[in-house]
Structure 1
Amino acid sequence: MTLRRSAAALAAAAVLGAVAAPAASAAPAPSPVAIPSGLYGKSDPTYDGVFRQSLALLAQQTVGVKPATKAVDWLVAQQCDNGGFPAFRADASRPCDAKVLVDTNATAAAVQALKALGGQDATVKKAVGWLKSVQNKDGGWPYSPGTPSDANSTSIVVGALVAAGERPKDAMGKDWKSSLDALLAFQADCAGKAENQGAFAFQPDKAGKKFPNADATAAVVTAAAQKTMVVAPAKTNEELKPAADCEAGMTSPEAAVDGGSDYLARLLAKNGQHLMSAMPGAEDKPDFGNTADATVALAAAGHRDAAAKPAQWLARNGAAWAKQTGPAAWAQLVFAAHATGMDPRSFGGTDLVEQLNATGPAPQAKQAAEDAGKKDEAKKDDTGGSSATWWVVGVAFVASMGAGFLISGRNKKNQQL
């Protein structure tokens, strides 16, 4: 299940159908919304608050960082009574009404994060129940309930089901098609173009044509492999296999994994081991977010060597993009590094974990250390600037000299809590 950035979901769906990352070249606009203290990122959270929070928390959990309690509490409080999560709601104390639009992407991302963190079983169960209730009859999921299924939304929900311990093949639509069957239906048209073999589309256009989409392909590969956002490094290296004949179609999840992986590897190699932006009317430039998605997808398929190449490109080039884009971008780089066995704390010379942590409330261990430091400072103030303890080491009077030994002391080392 690849990553979608719901900040751009509405705009991308209207133009292309794919949910893509905000342009890395554009600085975040000043936010008209007050940023909650428990939220990661300082840009307007209206369209991506829950999504970026979920990615940030899941990435921290992946690298052994315990997130701040208030960050987890903020995410949990975003859930509506029906179990779904909206992109963001400023006042979580008020019940969700018809104006609060819950969506599958935010909900599925929250499920994966909260399940990994643990201790949120009731919230996760309720969210999974809502996801099942809005499954389309074709077995897939849309971004917004009641609209046509798309490859990316279907994929991220499959990842959520896997994270929650569910079996995607048991999630059936009214047409008795499972979520895995739905993934296969997004196979892109080849139209005699061999280079398009193995690709998947976001969804058919109005004329029913399905055009290749790299991020949709990465999403399908990860979901068909029944993996979540967090993929463990492959222990062995699977050889890439040629995609199935386009006319024959890919008739199983395994074939989708093979075909999609082959397509991604060929496209990455063509572009110098990264993907290019494909937004209509936009200038072609490297697409960092989708490259990270493709890296995770190849790792999920067991193609260790193929995944390592775009991961190395991200290590050389991704930090500037993530710094400008925000916490979700840092999280994506963490996932790519983790999936390929690279060190997230030294990824091309950048500590991804430190950078991610800096975008939100301090993790629990760091906060505890800061609190301890404040206590030490207060203690120093109470003792006139020193917390030293004086120890008498000896006093003796020598009558013939009329002198004595001075009392000496030594500072006791402060212990950090």
Structure 2
Amino acid sequence: MRARYGLLLAALAASGCTEPAGNALTCGEFKPERPVLVLGSDFVASALGRLGADGCLTEIPDLTLGGDASLSIGNAGPFVSVRVDGVVYAVDPETLSLTRTWVSYGEDEAKFQMPCGNAGLVSNPHDADLDAAGRLWVARYDQPTIGVVEPDGSFGGTVDLGSFADSDGLPEVEAIRVVGARVYAAVDRLDRCALYKPAGPGRIAVIDAEKREVTGAIELGGANPFGRMISAPWDPSGSTVAIALPGSFSAIDDGDAAAIVDLASGAVQGFGKESSLGGSIAEVAPAAPDEAYAIVAGPEQANATRVVRLDPATGEVVATLADSRDEREGGGYCHVGLAIVGAHVLVGSKPPCAPAILAFDRETGRKAGAIQPERLPPLSLVPLP
């Protein structure tokens, strides 16, 4: 999937696509119970958006964000990471302005050279979070280390996660979460020398924030922890999270398809099997101990997606809310971004399906409304307080 996105980005850039027109305001028939932050992208350009409680979506395209950005909520967030530039920005959720900038690498750092001759970016930040002291911890996908940026904005050094790496020398740090005095980093452990094949089950590294040392690891029951660690709404401490475990997107893998993890205790509740789901869980959003929503991507080349409700206690699919195959023959990787907002679950839709933010009623599973963005298709959704 990552390789496929890279090819798509290159193809779009070669086609001469440019920054979309200016700001846009679009109102739809659905009004969420609280605002939602939206990252829109066509993998050439990006835009920040805010879907308000009035049902209106404000979109602000920004050249600064490039075509490969990711959205995080974190402590004192939200944040947006620009992967190509190795920069993390703080976002004002009201104005959508970028209010602070962190550089996620040191001046003397270079691209990591893998034994197979490949090299990525200098940093490639995928996620970020602040600790109580104001230090920014950055998940750096193309380095065997986590980056730490001091409260004054200076680069403060790294924490080595090389012990979690596979044979290519990189652990692929995907997501990061600060809870109290500990930092938790999810590592994909993908072998880039073997076309991103999972090298074993994923893990979450446990780090002492003050000592900047790895103190342990949480073993996950599935491979390739993908995307952010999403907070469970029933745990106000923020220690309970859900994470997708898609393994290889082109195969039906063994192991758990997703997991709910108590970071404090290290307890892992894996759920879902790809053999019964018919694909990989690409994103997961927990709503209650017996209610979670997931985007399932099929193993075929198109990676056709479905949006389903699961019971984490049993792993069973309770309902299917949307299916890309219903919109176009053969389907496609259409659904991206999940958000639980009160009585509704929101999901993004992008090409090859029609760009939209779709809303579904949690009780009935029926579609409650939609809004079509004018500028860029949604890529990520984050509910705002």
* Alignment TM-score > 0.5, same fold: no
TM-score for both structures, normalised by structure 1: 0.30
More strand by share: 2
Which structure would you say has the larger RCO, counting Cα contacts within 8 Å and 6 or more residues apart?
Answer: 1
Larger Rg over CA atoms: 1
More helix by share: 1
